[in-house]
Amino acid sequence: MDQFFGTDGIRGRVGEEPITADFFLKLGWAVGSVLAKEGAASVIIGKDTRVSGYLFESALEAGFLSAGVDVGLLGPMPTPAVAYLTQAYGATAGVVISASHNHFQDNGVKFFSSQGFKLSDKNQKEIEKKLSEPMVSVDSDHIGKARRHEQPLGRYIEFCKSTFDRSVDLSGLNIVIDCANGATYHIAQSVFSELGANITIINNQPDGFNINLDCGATDTKQLQQIVIEQKADLGIAFDGDGDRLMMVDSNGEPVDGDELVFIVAKAWYQQARLDNDTVVGTKMTNLGMRHALKDLGINFIEADVGDRFVMEQMQISGSILGGEGSGHMICLDKTTSGDGIISALQVLEVLAKSGKSLGVLKLEMEKYPQVLINVKTHGKVELDSHINLKKAQLEVEAELGDEGRVLIRASGTEPLIRVMVEGKNLVLVQQGADKLAKVLSS
């Protein structure tokens, strides 16, 4: 098992191991040393808007340079933008300093290969091994060089626009966009307004501390209110690093990742654009979505939770569409990672071509009630040997019967046990989730 890497890179509380300047210095050296084994190497580094990004950007930069790797600095940039720009700039790897949807007190790091995909397990194991060795800098005549790239924003904006059918007219749409005071703050308005939509932008004033604070994809209440007040057609919410998407219909009702993937999947299937007639989701994917896809004749593949596992199953199955209820949507024929902006554009394209509203399209899939409770833990909890939990789970599953299910798993990024119960009967679902959470907390 990896010591540092979780389901989505390395993440934790700033100032606590391993989210410290000295660790990031050594991490840059370790990653750089692994990359440099194959010859001359270069990396690009992007970051979101949290204040600690300055600290870790400098530490990583120094580590890479000490391993003889050249560094290109991008400044604030969405995670999917770094995936794209790694390829566009011909870099050996891309690095994002971000804790995604977490608040500013946390930070972390994600890595992309030269092809724009998340690093493989093999790469991560090599890096972990290198981290256990003493840090030794290359000779002074082999130290890397650093420079700041001048036009990364423009390149990424044009790339996003290129994934949209330009024959489609968005000029009749009034859209509210919530940037979560994160890495899309200086990009989203340009992309959507240049494609013709009428845009109201909120939470696009990052100060280093307000990223994901009561806003964005993880908290759409403010967006829902503003959509209703302004009588907008819909709202779009990104998370702090721009790889998640949530939307809000004209009635202020949230539309989650499962519903958005279904909307795109149905349209692409009907247009014969859905490769292998297959969609990839996760263990958390709503039962209602699974049943709706099956009714259409679309295959569903279940991956482990985490966009990198969704991506793995997409590559194995030859699927071009996958995602999670949390808002990651991967359109593999457009880009190599979950991208909130590009995903939103695909949904808007479906809306415009169908002539239907987001609210109407949402109703084409019956979403089963789902209750998710995060139970904080102190240290590791062995779920497999938790007798009382096993007993309670069997009791809840018996109550739900064939019209529901239970999923209990440890978070890969936070000290939490996630309890998920879903089914047609909301009362039974809520009671079951509360019962399991209580057992875990006792």
| Alpha-carbon distances, residue 69 vs 20, 55, 138, 172 (angstroms) | 21, 19, 10, 49
Nearest in space to 14 (alpha carbons), one of 97, 105, 88, 75: 105
With CA atoms as reference, report the closest residue to 310 among 93, 1, 2, 7: 7
C-alpha separations of 182 from 94, 98, 100 in Å: 19, 10, 9
SS (H, E, C) 172-231: CCEEEEECCCCCCCCCHHHHHHHCCCEEEEECCCCCCCCCCCCCHHHCCHHHHHHHHHCC
Whether residue 206 is preceded by a cis peptide bond, meaning omega within 30 degrees of 0, is no
- Is residue 250 part of the annotated active site? The answer reads no
Tell how strand 321-323 and strand 329-331 pair up: antiparallel
Q: Which two tokens stand for residue 223?
A: 């967006």
The two tokens of residue 385 are 């040997």
Q: Could you give the CA distance from residue 384 to residue 373 in angstroms, rounded to a whole number?
A: 19
Distance of alpha carbon 390 from alpha carbon 13, whole angstroms: 32
Q: Which amino acid, one-letter code, is at 44?
A: I
Catalytic-labelled residue, pool 98, 100, 337, 343: 100
The CA-atom distances, in angstroms, between 22 and each of 19, 73, 200 are 9, 20, 42
Q: Cα angle at 182 between 180 and 187, to 5 degrees?
A: 105
Here the tokens at position 331 are 């359109």
Supply the DSSP string of 281-298, one letter for each residue.
EETTS-HHHHHHHHHHT-
Nearest by Cα to 204 from 183, 190, 220: 183
The amino acid at 18? P
Catalytic residue numbers read: 100
